[in-house]
Amino acid sequence: MENRMNRLLSAVSLILCGTLLSSPAVAADWQIVGVGNTPCRDWNSLHSPGLKEVLAWMTGFASAENLDRSEGKRPAWKLEEMTYDYLRGQIDAVCIEPENQEKKMHTILFELLLKFPQVNG
């Protein structure tokens, strides 16, 4: 059952992330559900549980994509470096800019993953 769940997660991850990460323009056409839709304008007003929910969503999404990457023989990301402190710093740096107030958390994550260190990269 666990193997079946891993395959399902990998398939979903492949469909969503493969397309989304390859083209930021395409990402705008896909629907993202959950706290990945939180815009920067709401980031600073979130209380601790809300912040943790966004960070958990980001690390969970990245972990699922990492499973797919490893099965597809692509270099995995060094997700041990994707700590909550790291993510908060990256989000804060993006969301402090007035022109980024409508930028959503999923876009920030996709941009981070495009340049994130890889295990063999």
- Tens of pLDDT, residue by residue over 103-120, are 999 999 999 999 999 987
pLDDT of amino acid 69: 86
Between 15 and 77, the higher pLDDT residue? 77
pLDDT at 3 over 80: no
pLDDT of amino acid 25: 40
pLDDT tens digits for 57-80? 999 999 999 998 888 888 889 999
| SS3 category, 75 | coil
Question: CA separation (Å) from 45 to 28, 36, 48, 52, 56?
Answer: 24, 16, 10, 13, 17
Does residue 20 surpass a pLDDT of 70? no
CB 49 within 8 A of CB 55: no
Q: Looking at residues 16-45, what average pLDDT do you find?
A: 66
Residue 32's SS3 state is coil
More confidently predicted of 63 and 17: 63
Domain spans of the chain, in order of start: 2-114
The whole model's pTM is what? 0.71
